[in-house]
Amino acid sequence: MSKKKRLRRFTHESIQDQHSITAILDALSRGMEQGKLSFSEKGGKLTLRPEGLLTIKASGEDEEAFQRIKIQIRWFKKGKRSKQQKRLKLSL
């Protein structure tokens, strides 16, 4: 068996029923709890390791022809915190 190529980005889009989407969301939830998310397709694999504080962004749309939700979760790799991230400074 050949080793899968390490990917830096992964995108997947497909048509699924509600039960299949629920199973995918459950798998993502379990991966978040375990601290490891693995995505693979077409010989490539992306492994993400969520840790520390995470940022979540959720949005929804109700258009004339369709409805949509978007969920984005982001975190910094250990030791790679953005210098541009806003920090609260208090003084007395």
DSSP labels, 41-55: ETTEEEEE---SS-E
Cα 55 to Cα 74: distance, rounded to the nearest angstrom: 5
Per-residue pLDDT of 46-82, as tens digits, reads 999 999 999 999 999 999 999 999 999 999 998 776 6
31 vs 90, higher pLDDT: 31
Cα 42 to Cα 46: distance, rounded to the nearest angstrom: 11
Per-residue confidence (pLDDT) for residue 76, from 0 to 100 = 93
Cα 58 to Cα 19: distance, rounded to the nearest angstrom: 21
Cα 32 to Cα 36: distance, rounded to the nearest angstrom: 6
Per-residue confidence (pLDDT) for residue 10, from 0 to 100 = 92
- Name the residue type at position 41: E
